[in-house]
Amino acid sequence: MTISGLVLIELWKRKSQLITGLLAITLGIAVIVAIQSVSVVSEQNVARNLDNLGANILVLPQAASIDDYYTSDIDAPTLPMEYVERILSSTIAGVDNMSPKLTRRVKVGNQSIVLTGILPKSEIASKPLWQSSGLLGKALTTACAPSQSTSKSHWMEDVKLQRRAIDTLYSEDCLAGSQVAKKLKLSANSRVNIMGKEFNVLKILPETGTVDDDRIFANLRDVQKLLKIENQVSAIEIMGCCNAISEGLLGQLRNILPDTRVTTIGQIVSTQIETNQLMKKITLVMLIIIFFVGGISIGNYIWANVNERKREIGILRMMGAERSTIYKMFLLKALILGVAGGVLGFILGTLAGVILGPYLAGIIVKPLYIYLLWSILLSVTISLAGSLFPTYLAAKFDPHSNLQED
Amino acid sequence: MILQGENILKQYLYKGGLINALDHVSFSIEKGDFVTVTGPSGSGKSTLLLSLFGLVRLTSGSIVFDGNRIDNISDRQLTDIRKNSIGYILQSFALIPYLTTIQNVMIPLALEKIPGKEQVKRASEILDYVGLSDRMEHLPRELSAGQQQRVAIARSIVHRPQIIMADEPTGNLDPALSLEILEFLKKINRENKITIMMVTHSPVAAAYGTMKLHLNEGKIVHT
């Protein structure tokens, strides 16, 4: 038998007390794990939804109107193409894709349409609905999204290479939105004359229900030449990581592009930021409550245990147990309680998240195993902190006075 | 000589005044003695016992154990002496309630960090010696008072101490069981040459002593 063995035997023989001692800390850890499990999955879901929406940051000239996010680039003042390079050459994290574009209203025959010059691959990458229609390009997810089904080139080590925009739409080709195609009676491989230049309609874009349905897209360089607005763009759409946005991506962009307006799909992003912040605050409040309630609960349990075992401590001290042995006995017990509380709390919290997540938040929650480690660390810290003072008093007990009670 | 007390004074502060629990007590105990300490309640018997090995610090005087002065050494050194050289038997048996008989007996060996197998071997031998080999897995509450005191005796000798301090070891037992326990102590004293220092109220128990100290108001009135 060892002192550790003595602790284990005592715990095992007094199971009901053990359960009582564990209850508060287990429930506390469970609540934190449940909240965190749900909020992390919720954040991931919003990030995924933002991906599906496509670009979520718009860089416009300072004088442009942003009354309508989706049409604010039409006929807007321009900004230099060099700004794309400026973003590319920066080390700002969270910029996952950029689509510079130049947009103007033009006449085709007697019809007024919107012509937009794009860099096709980056434009396609930022438009999930285009990707699903079988157009070029693979789906691009933000770096903070949970599943990254991106092309390998996007995940190169060099962050600048990850953002390289590739121009592959040939000079004579264009893409037509579904509504403008109906209006101009266009079909795939038909031809359309825009401002004296013949374009081959490479593909009719799927209906998206957005302003894109009313646009004809052609190569940015050709549109710049056609409109005689060389090296200028009317907007740069950016797919920004949601977390990066909440952590100051917009400010960083404004710093390197001082004479522009940098805006977001404000409501969605701000809602997400508010939700994330609320969850963080709730978790912090819970953490403080758990620390005190759990610590006091464990401390109370250990103190009751110390009082109950005064005679035992006296006997052990009389037989030659050092103060350090008494410390070891009670702190080891607290450590075991901490580990058990952490593991049980993780299991209970995860189960609560998995079971209640779909009902309360409409999301499917999967176990986050890294939280097992955090649960144990937190629980052990609380347990040891709560036990220190009672253990100190136990080690200070005078064996003589405790044995005199005999 | 195994234990010598010289001019031991132990004072307590009580209601603003000093009480002499031990008043300049001196004695010498030889190895293998069976010492009984008697006296009325409050005469200082238990204080003497506790003072001898640092459970109560002296006000003045000296104690020499096995040739070394121990009244002025550190707590840690006293703890080591208690762990290695002294066995204790108390009136209430002082067994740990959630440990089995053999586990209770193994405690002094565990404190000495003796390997597990050796602990089991030595505890089994001692329990056989005190006639409890068939009760090794019983909890204290499953044993009679006499059996519990025999477990306490087994625990007090399992680590082969030089001296056993017994504080009213028969105080909770009926006369028949008391005699049984006293005979056991006598057997241990004779067969193992372990010195025994026993505090008792009982004249029957006191008669077992080869050396008798009688205390009254903190003083040894006769030996």
Share of chain A above pLDDT 90, in %: 18
**B182-213 residue pLDDT tens:** 998 898 899 888 999 999 988 899 999 999 99
- In sequence order, what are the residues at sequence separation of 6 or more whose Cβ sits closer than 8 angstroms to the Cβ of residue B149? B89, B93, B169, B170, B172, B173, B177, B181
Q: Say yes or no for a CB contact (<8 Å) between B90 and A404.
A: no
Chain length of chain A: 406
pLDDT confidence tier of residue A152, bands split at 50, 70 and 90: very low
Cβ within 8 Å, pair A406-B92:
yes
Residue A196 CB contacts under 8 Å (≥ 6 apart), including other chains: none
| 8 A C-beta contact, residue B195 and residue B31 | yes
pLDDT of residue A261: 84
Query: Can you read off the two tokens belonging to residue A313?
Result: 């401590």
Q: Is residue B67 part of a domain?
A: no
DSSP string, A88-148: HTS--TTEEEEEEEEEEEEEETTEEEEEEEE-HHHHHHT-HHHHHTT-SS-----TTSS--
Within-domain flag for B186: yes
Domain that holds residue B198: 30-60+75-222
3-32 of A, contacting B, C-beta below 8 A: 3, 5-6, 9-10, 13-14
N-terminal to C-terminal alpha carbon distance within chain B: 16
Domain chopping of chain A, boundaries: 3-46+273-404, 57-264
Q: How far is B132 from chain A (nearest CA, A)?
A: 19
Contact between B94 and A403 using a beta-carbon 8 Å cutoff:
yes
CB contacts, 8 Å: A3 with chain B: 110-111
Residues A69-76 have a mean pLDDT of 66
Picking from B98, B111, B119, the nearest residue to A319 by CB comes out as: B111
pTM here?
A: 0.65
Helix H or strand E segment including B77? helix B75-85
- Backbone conformation region of residue B74, classed left if phi is above 0, alpha if psi is from -120 to 50, else beta: beta
Beta pairing partners, A111: A108
Nearest residue on chain B to A313, alpha-carbon basis: B96
Q: Give the residue, A18 or B106, on which the prediction is more confident.
A: B106
CB contact under 8 A, B103 and A1: yes
Lowest mean pLDDT among A160-164, A167-171, A239-243, B22-26: A160-164
Domain count, chain B: 1
Residue A123: predicted pLDDT: 67
Size of interface A-B (CB pairs under 8 A): 66
A130 pLDDT tier (thresholds 50, 70, 90): low
A132 pLDDT above the threshold of 60: no
CA–CA separation, B119 and B66 (whole Å): 26
- What's the CATH code of the domain at B116? 3.40.50.300
Question: B74: which 2 tokens?
Answer: 């550190």
**Residue-wise pLDDT tens digits, B120-132:** 999 999 899 888 9
What is the distance in angstroms between the Cα of A307 and the nearest Cα belonging to chain B? 14
Q: What is the mean pLDDT of residues A84-90?
A: 85
- Phi first, then psi, for residue A153 (nearest 5°) are -60, -30
Q: Specify the higher pLDDT residue, A203 or A245.
A: A203
For residues A149 and A350, the model is more confident at A350
Q: How far is B86 from chain A (nearest CA, A)?
A: 8
Spell out the SS3 assignment of B82-147: HHHHEEEEECCCCCCCCCCHHHHHHHHHHHCCCCHHHHHHHHHHHHHHCCCHHHCCCCHHHCCHHH
Report, as an integer, the average pLDDT of B11-23.
85
A161 vs B140 pLDDT, higher one: B140
Q: Which residue of B has its CA nearest to A12?
A: B98
Q: Which of B48, B57, B79, B118 to mutate to test the interface with A (most CBs of A within 10 A)?
A: B79
Q: What is the pLDDT of residue A270?
A: 65
| B13 domain-assigned | no
User: Is residue A138 over pLDDT 50?
Assistant: no
Model confidence at A148: pLDDT above 50: no
**How far is residue B126's CA from residue B132's CA, in Å, rounded to a whole number?**
9
